Structure 1
């Protein structure tokens, strides 16, 4: 009889121990989850009487420390890379500007020289990419300031198209325009021009045969759609607005991968948003701003 009593006592003790250990493991799991969510630097401690958990807690702390060290190293490397990019971009800017000036002077005396024309074109391309890098750096450092003002987007789009007219004719684009008059937005003028430059430049570089631009309004919003046919299928539409991501849609020239990223960032800063669409070789960039009453704009002016 006593054997049964001892066995029963042992079973009860084991059950109590297992339940206690289970509570301790559940508590440890909660601490680990809290540390992950809060990104805390505090070390995990054994808050139970189960010393058998000490090695496990020690391994957890070691793993968290290694993860934290890796994150700090990545952050340092990224900061170093960004600073290097910033320095190199500024170092290149001055000699590039001087070189372009010399070439333009030479072209005045030799306007038909194909080599000078090619050099000038390449320097312009490099200059544009350098400006992308500098603006990217300013966006990264939150140095881009917004000077909100009333903008007649209808007129601005028309003016921009005129400056790109020769380029689209030379590239043999069929252009279809549907631009409503007197549509106003409130945004930074220079940044809005940069958005349009990036979009039209993107069409010239990656587009093929056709381009269509629609500008209209609905309710309290102004819509701008820039659509073009692309030579090659777009593989990762959602990634086109990621920094330094590019797809060689033209089949010829590599890009900085910052054009649409910059457009999206500037749209966000000017209270608008960007959407991309791709359907059967037609690539569309859709921009939306809150509309701005032209009567209010005239009062402000």
Structure 2
């Protein structure tokens, strides 16, 4: 009888110690959670006594999931901020051009034939502006909602030529030119027209802002579709390493008012379309290579 009482007393003492340890563990978990809620940290909970390991493990799993969701939310918000930063510049370009031609028609002494040509240019610029506005709505839905881009079978040569034509006058006004090498005139690819045009626009526009001399563009389809943009530019290995980073600008691009978004957006859209983009610099020649599955 005495032995039974002693065993019960020992068991009660052990249970009491376990309860005390678990109570202390819960207090420690509560204290750590309060600290984590007020700090921007990646720390996880630590078990003080080992009596609530399963609880601590589960809470740490939830903490990791919450942080993952928070990072993804921050990324999407940042992507939207990028887009809004870039919208003002992209919309202003065709609008400013159209206003310039309107002022020319209004104030210059030009013939009716010349006015007709200028009005056609204005129409092209305003149509370009409308296309950009429509595209931005689509881009915002894709980026913010993780929406898969809608694809269709299209001719990448025609889209590339459209981008080159858009910048042709700007290059010519700077004493520069664009050459296009395309041995196959009719190519087919499954892609998103608006996003592909934006990629080409950003790369041609980036070469205009930060490059010099002739921009050589080639588009060839073999096992994959390869599009290459090549022009002289002052760039080093550090620039190449970070060239596709968001908001990254070189010393040269800072003096030219670059936003550091053009190539970052080109990279993002290329990857969203299932493609690959890379850059390299050799002998003061800057090259960007695009590859898409056909």
- What is the TM-score when the length of structure 2 is the normalising length? 0.58
Distance 1:90 1:233 in 2: 25
Matches within 5 A, 1:168-183: 168-180=171-183, 181-183=185-187
Over 3 Å counting, the alpha-carbon distance change for 1:139 and 1:240 in structure 2 is farther
When residues 196 and 111 of structure 1 are mapped into structure 2, their CA distance, relative to the original with a 3 A threshold, is farther
Q: What is the aligned partner in structure 2 of residue 120 from structure 1? A: none
- Show the counterpart of 1:206: 210
* Aligned residues: CA RMSD: 4.4
Q: CA deviation at 1:222?
A: 0.7
Residue 106 of structure 2, aligned match among 109, 128, 144 = 109
1:253 aligns with 2:241: no
1:187 counterpart residue number: 191
* Alpha-carbon shift at residue 163 of structure 1 (Å): 2.4
| Secondary structure in 2 matching 1:235 | helix
Structure-2 change in CA distance of 1:189 and 1:79 (3 Å): closer
Long gaps (5+) in structure 2? 1-41, 52-59, 110-125
Alpha-carbon contact 2:80-2:140 (below 8 Å) kept: no
CA shift in 2, pair 1:246/1:135, >3 Å: farther
3-state SS of 2:170 partner: helix
User: Partners in 2 of 1:280 and 1:193 — Cα distance?
Assistant: 29
**Measured at CA, do residues 213 and 87 of structure 1 come closer, stay the same or move farther in structure 2, by a change above 3 Å?**
closer
Shift, 1:88, TM fit: 7.6
2:154 aligned with 1:157 = no
Once the two structures are TM-superposed, the CA of residue 43 in structure 1 deviates from its matched residue by 3.4
Question: 1:169 Cα shift?
Answer: 1.4
Task: Kindly indicate whether the alpha-carbon contact (under 8 Å) linking 1:227 and 1:282 is maintained by their aligned counterparts in 2.
Answer: yes
Unaligned ranges ≥5, structure 1: 1-38, 49-63, 113-123, 292-301
* Aligned CA distance change for structure 1 residues 212 and 140 (closer, same or farther; 3 Å): same
Work out the CA distance in 1 between the residues paired with 2:214 and 2:265.
Answer: 24
Whether the 8 Å contact between 2:80 and 2:144 is mirrored in structure 1 is: no
Q: 1:196 — aligned with what? A: 200
Partner of 2:238 in structure 1? 235
- Alpha-carbon deviations, 1:9-39, whole Å to 9, x = none? xxxxxxxxxxxxxxxxxxxxxxxxxxxxxx7
Give the distance between the partners of 1:289 and 1:78, measured in 2 at CA. Answer: 29
Alpha-carbon contact 1:216-1:224 (below 8 Å) kept: yes
Cα deviation for residue 258 of structure 1 reads: 0.9
Question: Contact 2:182–2:220 at 8 Å: present in 1 too?
Answer: yes
- Residue 266 (1) aligns with residue 269 (2): yes
Shift in Å, 1:161: 1.8
Q: 2:210, 2:252 within 8 Å by CA — same for their partners in 1? A: yes
Distance (Å, rounded) in 2 between the aligned partners of 1:96 and 1:133:
14
Mapped to 1, the partners of 2:189 and 2:160 lie a distance apart of: 12
Report how many aligned residue pairs link the two structures: 215
